[in-house]
Amino acid sequence: MSSPAVLAAVFLPLAAVPVIALTGRRPNLREAVTLVAGLGTFLLVLDLLPEVSAGGRPGFELGTVLPGLVLAFEVEPLGMLFGLVASGLWIVTSLYSIGYMRGHHETDQTRFFAFFAVAITAALGVAFARNVFTLFVFYEVLTLSTYPLVTHQRTEAARRGGRTYLGILIFTSICFLLLAVVGTWQVAGTLEFADGGILAGRAGPGTLALLLALYAFGTGKAALMPFHRWLPAAMVAPTPVSALLHAVAVVKAGVFTVLKVVVYVFGLDLLQDTGVSQWLMHVAGATVLLASLVAMTKDNLKARLAYSTVSQLSYIVLGAALANSWSVVGGGMHIAMHAFGKITLFFCAGAINVALHKTEISDMAGIGRQMPFTMAAFTIGSLSVIGLPPFGGAWSKWYLALGAVRADQLFFVGVLMVSTLLNIAYLMPVAIRAFWPGRAAVSDHGPASGHRHHEGLHEAPLLCVAPLCFTAAGCLVLFFWSGGLYRLLAQMVG
């Protein structure tokens, strides 16, 4: 059904870009425009939720580019979830960005807010894509629009990180993802997403396995090893950009693409019957564990969180590869659960940098006394990423484990359990060091400074602290509101 609200939701952030640019000399007005656009976008997306929850599929067709290649939108349950995450967290990240950019005295703030808005339009275009062609177009727009954000500081390190970021994502898109799109068109004769998939009965196991590999590695934003290096390289960007990359749009667009292609291009029944996704389970499982091990070696907090993200993304890829209703629901839920947990952690990392100018974990002993709200939020975000109740990450891991049991893949239940222990090993020492410096374990970088003594409250600006407290609370709310997410995503798998 044609719905102008879908079109408005996708393009409202883009419409705000010229207004943001024109108000650049008046920062308060510029930031007000950003917040109004963010709130308006979220309300438009939220307005679509009742119809989608009732089984409707609102959409809008932009037009035909070439015969058979249509730019069109249609909102289904998984896209609805991603749209809510991207548009909702844009508001929170915008508030945080105001406090961070001013507190850190960043330059080119108008350019930052303008490209951030373009990236949100691209993310919503990916979320609401009706077919593989539309998804590919907006996926590439997302890559190009975030490059200026990654290189925002224009230092040599930023340019080097930006080259790695753009090089890997463009390489994987052109060499793999584009071939997957063309191959799907050749095999199926259509690029439209459909319940149950479009490839059943049209290709043998070898062709299906090749197409799945092209999609999995071509979706570089999913950060499957060995195409993951762009993610740590992009950590040279300001912390609000890291939040955009890790929680709001970029990596979520990657794993969303993998999950949507599995459900609506291949179909769960086809993957179960042919077993062509078995190899992807092992690649995802290896990425989960190896990235966690690398995270444990990093003393820089943002670098540790970056490798944590590489690991956590592969939970969702694993859910897609297991190819059953429980695993897909678990993977979908993890998009939201990880978004709130990881954005909280990155917000905290940025707040520590703004308030205390600290970036290395070994320098953070005792900072819980100066930044109790920030470090309490960090602890909550960590517990959610680890997957402990009563925080949202517990549910997504639970359904992923159920999916592994249903697929008779008990080895991957073990992978999830070991990964959880590794999560504890690289996240909880940060909180322990902050609140109980005398008990902090000796790290690879030397003993904790247990004798340092910090006095006085020294939190980051309110616009930094309030958003991280909000997202930390969201980790708790998602645990008790998981039923709503489950019912929405259950539609996707019948």
CA distances to 14, 145, 326 from 114, in Å: 8, 10, 39
What does the pLDDT read at residue 59? 94
Residues 6+ away with beta carbon under 8 Å from 245: 146, 150, 231, 234, 237, 251
Residues 6+ away with beta carbon under 8 Å from 22: none
Task: Annotate 336-352 with DSSP letters as a single string.
Answer: HHHHHHHHHHHHHHHHH
More confident: 1 or 265: 265
In a domain, 124, yes or no: no
Is the pTM value of this prediction over 0.95? no
For 342-363, what is each residue's pLDDT tens digit?
A: 999 999 999 999 889 899 999 9
What does the pLDDT read at residue 438? 65
In a domain, 204, yes or no: no
Tokens of 92: 């929170």
Q: Looking at the predicted structure, is the pLDDT value of residue 453 above 60?
A: no
Q: How far apart are CA 326 and CA 203, in angstroms?
A: 26
- Provide the number of structural domains found in the chain: 1
What does the pLDDT read at residue 1? 66
What does the pLDDT read at residue 18? 96
Q: Looking at the predicted structure, is the pLDDT value of residue 130 above 70?
A: yes
Least confident of 65-74, 121-130, 150-159, 390-399: 150-159
In a domain, 357, yes or no: yes
Q: Are 222 and 287 in contact (CB under 8 A)?
A: no
Neighbours of 7 (CB within 10 A): 17
Mean pLDDT of 176-181: 96
Q: Mean of the per-residue pLDDT values for the chain? A: 91
Tokens of 484: 């709503």
In a domain, 25, yes or no: no
* Long-range pairs of 266-269 with CB within 8 A, sequence gap ≥ 24: 266/197, 266/199, 266/208, 266/211, 266/212, 267/196, 267/197, 267/198, 267/199, 267/200, 268/197, 268/323, 268/324, 268/325, 268/328, 268/493, 269/196, 269/197, 269/200
What does the pLDDT read at residue 246? 65
In a domain, 358, yes or no: yes
Parent domain of 393: 277-494
In a domain, 411, yes or no: yes
In a domain, 254, yes or no: no
Q: Are 343 and 377 in contact (CB under 8 A)?
A: no
Q: Looking at the predicted structure, is the pLDDT value of residue 2 above 90?
A: no
In a domain, 47, yes or no: no
